[in-house]
């Protein structure tokens, strides 16, 4: 809490005496919103913040630094430990049945930080073409959705980012997100073997402490092995995923516009 108070005390107030806070995950929607807000309201001292988990890929870290330069303002990193530290604490891996990672690393630090600001206005990057989605961070906080106010859907967001020359990383979520697809795990193994090996080791460590096999992957999601070590053995033996030939012709991650953070987007 002391760290959050110190961060809150450093943030500038707008002319209306309020903190205008922008949640900036680094995905296409929040980036377009942040840049659009600065373009439309250059005099407002927006407070840009993100909630790192400590499991971001290097290109995501570089992306946040690039955004700070474009926005001309520092981004507040609001943290509550790391994914690794909470795995060690619980001796458990996050999963669709135990989504403590979203709550502890995203929602709770966000709400705590907002509670320490003066009459905050929170800006959330939900588009006009996704009315079914609601801001889960907005309870008790004055929340606005600029992209909806501007009538911006996916096409408008993509066009704006292209005009601004902003390149979104292929992955904006955790490197070992349990919701990622099988081909994304394969790409992590191929392109970031050290991170994949670390995830393998965590599966082994948790399984030893729990006395039962644990994995980041659901055992019922597909017919491939759930354990990362068994998956690696398959790939090392030359087994291809369906569509692997097509993926090898281009980015194995695909287009970020189709593959943004699937669990804890802010």
45, 78, 194, 232: CA torsion to nearest 10: -110
Per cent of the chain over pLDDT 70 is 88
Cα separation of 1 and 92, whole Å? 25
Task: Give the pLDDT confidence score for residue 2 in this predicted structure.
Answer: 82
- Spell out the SS3 assignment of 87-132: HHHHCCCCCCCCCHHHHHHHHHHHHHHHHCCCCCEEECCCCCCCCC
Alpha-helix residue ranges (DSSP H) falling in the chain: 2-9, 28-40, 58-71, 83-90, 100-102, 108-115, 146-149, 154-164, 182-191, 193-210, 228-236, 244-247
What tens digit of pLDDT does each residue of 181-227 get?
A: 999 999 999 999 999 999 999 999 999 998 889 999 998 888 899 99
pLDDT band at 14 (very low <50, low <70, confident <90, very high): very high
141 φ, ψ to 5°? -125, 140
Average confidence score pLDDT of the chain? 89
Query: Which residue from 248, 58, 90 is spatially nearest to 171, judged by alpha carbons?
Result: 58
Cα separation of 226 and 215, whole Å? 6
* DSSP symbol at 183: H
Please name the residue that has the structure tokens 């002319």: 15
pLDDT band at 38 (very low <50, low <70, confident <90, very high): very high
What tens digit of pLDDT does each residue of 109-163 get?
A: 999 999 999 999 999 999 999 877 766 555 668 999 999 999 999 999 999 999 9
Query: Which residue from 189, 156, 162, 184 is spatially nearest to 260, judged by alpha carbons?
Result: 184
33 φ, ψ to 5°? -65, -50
The two three-digit tokens of residue 187, written as one number:
């790409």
Cα separation of 88 and 128, whole Å? 40
Task: Give the pLDDT confidence score for residue 241 in this predicted structure.
Answer: 87
Asked whether the predicted pLDDT for residue 247 surpasses 70, the reply is no
Asked whether the predicted pLDDT for residue 84 surpasses 60, the reply is yes
pLDDT band at 253 (very low <50, low <70, confident <90, very high): very low
* DSSP symbol at 225: -
Task: Give the pLDDT confidence score for residue 138 in this predicted structure.
Answer: 57
Cα separation of 160 and 165, whole Å? 9
Cα separation of 218 and 227, whole Å? 9
Domains of the chain: 2-164 (3.40.50.620), 182-247 (no CATH)
pTM for this prediction: 0.86
Query: Which residue from 95, 246, 85, 81 is spatially nearest to 180, judged by alpha carbons?
Result: 95
Q: Which residues neighbour 145 within 8 Å (Cβ) at sequence distance 6 or greater?
A: 123, 124, 125, 126, 135
Question: Under a CB-based contact definition with an 8 Å cutoff, are residues 89 and 108 in contact?
Answer: no
């Amino acid at each position: 809490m002391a760290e959050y108070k110190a961060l809150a005390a450093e943030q500038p107030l707008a002319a209306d005496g309020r903190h205008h806070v922008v949640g900036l995950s680094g995905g296409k929607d929040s980036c377009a919103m942040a840049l659009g807000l600065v373009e439309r309201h250059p005099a407002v001292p927006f407070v840009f913040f993100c909630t790192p988990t400590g499991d971001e890929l290097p290109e995501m870290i570089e992306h946040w630094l690039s955004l700070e330069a474009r926005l001309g303002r520092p981004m507040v990193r609001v943290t509550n430990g790391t994914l690794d530290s909470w795995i060690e604490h619980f001796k458990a891996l996050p999963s669709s049945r135990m989504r403590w990672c979203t709550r502890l690393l995203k929602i709770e630090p966000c709400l705590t930080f907002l509670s320490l600001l003066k009459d905050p206005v929170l800006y959330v990057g939900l588009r006009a073409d996704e009315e079914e989605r609601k801001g889960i961070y907005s309870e008790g906080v004055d929340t606005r959705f600029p992209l909806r106010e501007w009538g911006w859907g996916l096409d408008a967001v993509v066009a704006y980012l292209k005009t601004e020359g902003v390149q979104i990383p292929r992955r904006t979520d955790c490197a070992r997100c349990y919701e990622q697809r099988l081909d994304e795990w394969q790409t992590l193994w191929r392109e970031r073997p050290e991170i994949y090996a670390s995830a393998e080791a965590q599966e082994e460590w948790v399984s030893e402490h729990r006395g039962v096999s644990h994995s980041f992957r659901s055992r019922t999601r597909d017919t491939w092995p759930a354990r990362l070590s068994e998956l690696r053995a398959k790939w090392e033996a030359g087994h291809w995923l369906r569509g692997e030939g097509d993926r090898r012709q281009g980015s194995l991650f695909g287009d970020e516009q189709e593959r943004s953070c699937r669990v804890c987007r802010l």
